[in-house]
């Protein structure tokens, strides 16, 4: 099983579609190729073709989710992702693999690498930092999500802004009081899109309250 085999299979599938191949189809093919050796996955990841790179991160994800994957193999998956992050240059690639490949690996380890990523000049590395915490959220651990969100709260990149809002919202589903405490501090100053994503699941009265904080802050700064 090689990278070329994956590409050949993808090309055969492409015949059935007049436009782009649906992502769900690529995800399914990647599951069939989850035994692809990591060096071959890296070949796909370093390909200029976006579907090949999506296939690569999907294979990494399936491998990381597999209960038979050893700790040594999970470390290799993590390194393949981190060491080739310049090829993971789109939010969809980050979201497909970061939770299990990065978050899953770091779950029982020192999580400082996430804080280093949060300070990266590369916006997709910063997105990886917050998105990876979804694995922790699923384990009812939300502290790192809010700590990293604090680092990224005034980020200038819209894809990081959306990720921060989305993931503190998810953390808020586990502990709404922690989300509200965070918003009490940052709602007025965070980017509007971050706030909109963060309050999406709150009751209307709280949505209105935090939006009013933002509007008041903007009005005050304009005067």
Q: Tell me: the pLDDT tens digits for 145-169?
A: 999 999 999 999 999 999 999 999 9
Q: Tell whether 44 and 123 lie within a shared domain.
A: no
| CA 223/CA 220 separation, integer angstroms | 5
- If pLDDT is split at 50, 70 and 90, which confidence band does 205 have? very high
- The answer to pTM > 0.85 is yes
CATH of the domain at 218: 1.25.40
Q: Look up the domain containing 182 and give its range.
A: 110-223
Q: Tell whether 68 and 146 lie within a shared domain.
A: no
Report yes or no on 100 lying in a domain: no
Q: Tell whether 122 and 19 lie within a shared domain.
A: no
Q: Tell me: the pLDDT tens digits for 55-102?
A: 999 999 999 999 999 999 999 999 999 999 999 999 999 999 999 999
Retrieve residue 87's tokens.
């090829």
Query: C-alpha 1: how far from its chain's center?
Result: 28
Q: Tell whether 116 and 223 lie within a shared domain.
A: yes
Residue from 128, 202, 205, 200 nearest 159 by CA? 128
């Amino acid at each position: 099983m090689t990278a070329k085999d994956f590409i050949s299979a993808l090309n055969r599938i492409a015949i059935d579609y007049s436009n782009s191949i649906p992502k769900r189809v690529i995800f399914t093919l990647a599951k069939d190729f989850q035994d692809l050796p990591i060096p071959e996955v890296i070949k796909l990841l370093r390909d200029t073709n976006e579907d090949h790179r999506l296939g690569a991160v999907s294979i990494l994800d399936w491998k990381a989710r597999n209960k038979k994957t050893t700790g040594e193999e999970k470390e290799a998956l993590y390194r393949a992702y981190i060491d080739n992050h310049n090829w993971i240059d789109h939010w969809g690639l980050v979201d497909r693999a970061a939770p299990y490949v990065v978050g899953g690996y770091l779950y029982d380890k020192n999580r400082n690498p996430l804080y280093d990523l949060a300070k990266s000049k590369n916006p997709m590395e910063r997105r990886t930092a917050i998105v990876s915490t979804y694995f922790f959220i699923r384990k009812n651990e939300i502290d790192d999500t809010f700590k990293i969100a604090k680092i990224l709260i005034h980020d200038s990149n819209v894809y990081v802004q959306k990720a921060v809002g989305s993931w503190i919202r998810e953390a808020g589903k586990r502990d709404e009081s922690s989300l509200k405490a965070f918003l009490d501090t940052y709602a007025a100053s965070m980017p509007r899109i971050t706030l909109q994503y963060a309050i999406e699941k709150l009751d209307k009265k709280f949505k209105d309250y935090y939006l009013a904080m933002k509007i008041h802050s903007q009005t005050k700064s304009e005067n």
